[in-house]
Amino acid sequence: MTNVPTQQLPPFADAESFRAWRSASSQWLPIALDIARSHGLDASSPHVFSTGTNLVVGLGEKLILKIFPPLLRAQFVSERGSLTQLAGRLHLPIPEIVAEGERDGWPYLIITRLAGTLGSEVWPSLPEAQKERVLRQIGETIAAVQRAPLGPLAQIQPRWDDFMRAQMQGCKARHTRLGLAPKFLAGLDDLLRDAAELIPMDAPPVILIGEYIPENFLLACHDDQWSLAGLFDFGDVLAGWRDYDLLGPGAFMAAGRPGRVRNLLEGFGYAKPDHALKRRLMALMLLHRASDLNSHICIEGWQERADDLVELQELIWPG
């Protein structure tokens, strides 16, 4: 006898139990398809995306359904607000909201599915000149996003100053726990003292996506040239100081290569990085909500090539 899946989305007290439940899509896919049908959409060829945080199903080639558990409602607010605010304001395609609603207290969005190849599938094999080209386009895209008015995203929590102060307070404990080498930990107090002066706390905030990384954008190839073709995943948006969004591509993609760093910064609107900018970016990299230098700095042998945080910032942001 087969188990008939319940048609109700259950409550979860914590993210761990939700993740375990989400991993067995047979428990929730029938509900997702019922939501799709309730909007008159074709649910005959669903594709479950196993990665990511929420329940995500492709509905054919054109649409995606994202269902957010109540404990991650903030991600729904962030995604919905970002897609609404950025609609029509970028040259780069982003998903459009087709429908939205709620089932058993779980909010959901039905959005358009973008065309292109996932950046993480293509990026490692791109020739160097094309990596520089894509990084310039990423810099330009970050700047374009930040020119958009905040609208309701101004209410996104935490506020930038509260977020930064909390990150500063927990910074040393975090990086000690993550196993950052003692020679780098030794410079943290000095860097955090500088950070309080270098990182604006009350400047006019801008939209921060937080993760301009290959997993969150699409590329397309025309005449042997790869270009940015789409941007998605707006669940972790903050409103704050603009330089914060240089950290994802700086850590995961630029890899300390002068040409890549130059193209990213010039695309963003910065000239050659001076000491203050490098110091600020190094501080923000350590204060990022996902910061883990051992996992995120993609520079061969960086642990041996730098003796302290000052040398490390020169290695990551040359020029």
Per-residue pLDDT reduced to its tens digit, 61-93: 999 999 999 999 999 999 999 999 999 999 999
pLDDT tens figures, 228-271? 999 999 999 999 999 999 999 998 899 999 999 999 999 999 99
Average pLDDT over residues 194-215: 92
For residues 132 and 263, is the Cβ–Cβ distance under 8 A?
yes
Which pLDDT score is estimated for 1? 41
Which pLDDT score is estimated for 193? 93
Domain 15-112 = CATH 3.50.4.10: no
Cα-to-chain-centroid distance, residue 248? 8
Nearest to 9 by CA among 27, 33, 36: 27
- 3-state SS record for the chain: CCCCCCCCCCCCCCHHHHHHHHCCHHHCHHHHHHHHHHCCCCCCCEEECCCCCCEEEEECCCEEEEECCHHHHHHHHHHHHHHHHHCCCCCCCCCCEEEEEEECCEEEEEEECCCCEEHHHHHHHCCHHHHHHHHHHHHHHHHHHHHCCCHHHHHCCCCHHHHHHHHHHHHHHHHHHCCCCHHHHCCHHHHHHHHHHHCCCCCCCEEECCCCCHHHEEEEEECCEEEEEEECCCCCCEEECHHHHHHHHHHHHHCCCHHHHHHHHHHHCCCCCCHHHHHHHHHHHHHCCCCCHHHHCCCCCHHHHCCCHHHHHHHHCCC
Question: Cα(66)–Cα(49) distance, rounded to whole angstroms?
Answer: 10
* 117-316: CATH number: 3.90.1200.10
Residue 5 has pLDDT above 70, yes or no: no
Which residues face 110 on adjacent strands?
A: 65, 99
**Quick one: pLDDT band at residue 122, thresholds 50, 70, 90?**
very high
Which pLDDT score is estimated for 3? 47
Task: Look at the block and give the residue holding tokens 């709620």.
Answer: 102
Inter-axis angle of helices 275-287 and 188-198, nearest 10? 110
State the span(s) of the chain assigned CATH 3.90.1200.10. 117-316
**Least confident range of 82-86, 135-139, 181-185, 273-277:** 273-277
State the span(s) of the chain assigned CATH 3.30.200.20. 15-112
Question: Cα(125)–Cα(291) distance, rounded to whole angstroms?
Answer: 26
User: Taking all residues of the chain, what is their mean pLDDT, rounded to a whole number?
Assistant: 94
Residue 210 has pLDDT above 90, yes or no: no
pLDDT tens figures, 123-146? 999 999 999 999 999 999 999 999
Average pLDDT over residues 286-308: 94
Which pLDDT score is estimated for 174? 97
For residues 196 and 168, is the Cβ–Cβ distance under 8 A?
yes
Which pLDDT score is estimated for 50? 84
Q: Kindly state the greatest CA–CA separation across the chain.
A: 69
Average pLDDT over residues 268-292: 94
